Structure 1
C-alpha cells in the first residue's frame, strides 16, 4: 500500500493481521525523488524548494525556510544536518527572506554557499538539504514510531532488518537494537542482568563492499542492521 511506515499497526489492523515474522525497512529516499527535478530534493537542479515525499500534503522546504524563526531553523540544521555553522546559516536565511521570499533551490544556494569552503561545498550542501528534507517529512519521528511498532507486532524469533543511509537514522536503530530504547540505555534487573527485547544478529554493521559502491555509488552510506526479537 502507498503509505508511511509509521502507520504500520494501522494497516495491519485494517487487514486483520495481528503479528508478523519479519519486517524489512529500507529508509533510503528513492532515486526517483532525487532525479525528478520538480520535486526539489537535489541541489543539482533549480526547482521549487519542495522536498515533500507526498506532494499533496504538508509543509514544503520553502515554507520552513520562510516561516521558522531563526532559532528553530538553526536547530533543524544542527540536529538533522549536523552542521557546525547552523546558526550562521539560519541567520543568513532570515536576513535574505526579509528582502525576498526563498522559493527555489537557486534562491537557497545563493544564501548558503558563501558559508561553505569550496572543498566541502557539496558535502555541506547535502547536509543542508538532508536537514530540510528530514524536517519536511518528519522522518525521525516516523522511524521512531515504526521501530516501536515493530517491537509490538513481531513474534518472538521474528526479525527486524533496517537499512539506513545517514548517521542519525543509524544511531537510532543501533540504540534500539541494543536496548529497546531510542536513547540506547540498557536496563538491568535486580541481579544486574541486561534487559533487552532484541538479540543483534549481526554484531558488526553490514556495509556495501567496494564493488557495490563502484557499481552503485548511492549505496556508499548504507548500513544494514538485523535484530531478532527475544
Structure 2
C-alpha cells in the first residue's frame, strides 16, 4: 500500500457533508450578468468539495484559497482537468475580499468555508498536528512562515500559556499544564509531540483523565489555534466573505469546535436581524436584515456519514443567503 504522502488527494480526503453543501449553495450558482458563476472555496484543502462543485455545476469557476502550499499543490493535481475553471490562490482566507477584487473583479455567487485542521495536515505526521503520533512540535498550516508550537511553549510566559490553553482549548487544567511546561523547559526545551502528551497527562488529575478521549486534545487544539491565528483570521474572514457575496449569493460554513461555531452563529444572526435602534418606530431600509438563514441552527452529519468518515462527527454546518447590498466593511488590521 502506498504511504499517505504518496497517495493522490482523492484517496486521502473524504469531504464532509458534501451533498448538503452542494444542495445549499447550488441555487445561487446560475451564471451571473458578469459571466460564469464563481464560488470561492476559502479553505481548499485537498479539493474534494471544489471537485464536486466543478463536476456538478457546468461552467462554474472556483477560486480556491489555502495557506498550505502542499495542499494547493495536491489540489492542483486533482483539479487540473478543469483547466482555467479552477483558480488556486496561496493566502489566508481573511483576504477573501481582496482576492475577489483582484481575481474576479465583482461579487461572487457563493462562498464555502470548511474550518479547522485539514485531513492533509492531520495525516502528515511530521507536521505535528496529531497527539496520536510522535513528531516535531510544529503545527503551522503554512510551514514556510511563523512560530511553531515549540516556540510558543518554550518562549511564552506562564500566564500567556495558561491564557492560550484556557481560551482556545477550553482546558480546565490550563494553569497546571502551563506550570508543568515552564518547569520542564527550565531543564530542556519541549521539542516533540510525545513529550507534550506525557506532560499534559501528568498535569491532569487521574480522575479527570478517565473520560473525554486523549487528555492532550484540548492542549493541541489551543496551540494550533494560537500558532495559526485561526480565530483572529476567522473573525476577519466572516464579514469579508459576506461582503464578497452578490445579492442572492450564498455562504456555507462548517465548524468543528465550539469557538468557531459561535463566531459563525453570531455573524449570521447579526445579518439576519433587524438593526433598528431602540425607540425608532419605523424600520429603515438600511436596518433591514441583509442575510437569510438557510439552516435551522447548526446541522450535523448523519450517523451513516460519521461511521464512514469519523472526522465528520463534530461538524456544525450553517448557511445563509445575501438579501441586499450593504456598505462594505474594511479590515482594521
Tell me the TM-score normalized by structure 1: 0.92
Output the CA distance in 2 between the equivalents of 1:76 and 1:145: 19
**Contact kept in structure 1, 2:292 and 2:321, CA below 8 Å:** yes
Gaps of at least 5 residues in structure 2 are 1-88, 324-333
Instruction: Find out whether 1:208 has 2:296 as its counterpart.
Output: no
Matches of 2:173 and 2:312, distance apart in 1:
27
Distance (whole Å) between structure 2 residues aligned to residue 41 and residue 165 of structure 1: 15
Pair member with larger Rg: 2
Distance 1:209 1:40 in 2: 30
Q: How far, CA to CA, are the matches of 1:59 and 1:26 in structure 2?
A: 24
Which of 167, 182, 191 is 1:94 aligned to?
182
* Partner SS for 1:58: coil
Distance 1:99 1:180 in 2: 52
**In the superposition, relative to structure 1, how do residues 221 and 35 fare at CA in structure 2: closer, same or farther (>3 Å)?**
same
- Tell me, what secondary structure is at the counterpart of 1:120? coil
- The separation in 2 between residues aligned to 1:228 and 1:158, in whole angstroms, is 6
Q: Is the 8 A contact 1:180 1:196 kept in 2?
A: yes
Check whether the contact 1:83–1:124 (CA below 8 A) recurs between aligned residues: no
Candidates 306, 311, 322, aligned match of 1:218: 311
- Mapped contact 1:179–1:195 kept (Cα < 8 A): no
User: How far is 1:44 from its partner?
Assistant: 1.2
> Aligned-residue CA RMSD in angstroms?
2.0
Whole-angstrom distance in 2 between the partners of 1:30 and 1:192: 47
Moved more, 65-74 or 109-118: 109-118
Equivalent residue for 1:109? 197
Alignment partner, residue 65 of structure 1:
153
Q: 1:160 aligns with which of 248, 251, 255?
A: 251
Aligned-partner Cα distance in 2 for 1:192–1:140: 36
Superposition pairs of residues 27-176 of structure 1, within 5 angstroms: 27-116=115-204, 117-120=208-211, 122-176=213-267
Greater RCO, 1 or 2 (C-alpha within 8 Å, sep 6+): 1
Indicate yes or no: 2:95 matched with 1:2: no
2:180 and 2:203 in contact (8 A); partners too: no
1:171 Cα shift?
0.5
Counterpart CA distance in 2 for 1:137 and 1:33 is: 13
Deviates more, 1:42-51 or 1:189-198: 189-198
Further displaced range: 101-110 or 130-139:
101-110
Residue 263 of structure 2 aligns to a residue in which SS?
helix
Measure, in 1, the Cα distance between the counterparts of 2:169 and 2:288: 33
Preserved contact between residue 161 and residue 224 of structure 1 (Cα < 8 Å): yes
Deviation at 1:121, TM superposition (A): 6.4
Could you tell me how far 1:188 is from its partner in structure 2?
A: 3.2
Deviation of 1:34 after TM superposition, in Å, equals: 0.8
Three-state SS of the structure 1 residue aligned to 2:213 is helix
Instruction: Please list every run of at least 4 consecutive aligned residues from structure 1 whose deviation after the TM superposition is greater than 2 angstroms.
Output: 115-118, 120-124, 185-189, 191-197
Stretch of structure 1 that moved more, 148-157 or 70-79: 148-157
Task: Compute the TM-score of the two structures, normalised by the length of structure 2.
Answer: 0.64
1:217–1:180 Cα change, 3 Å: same
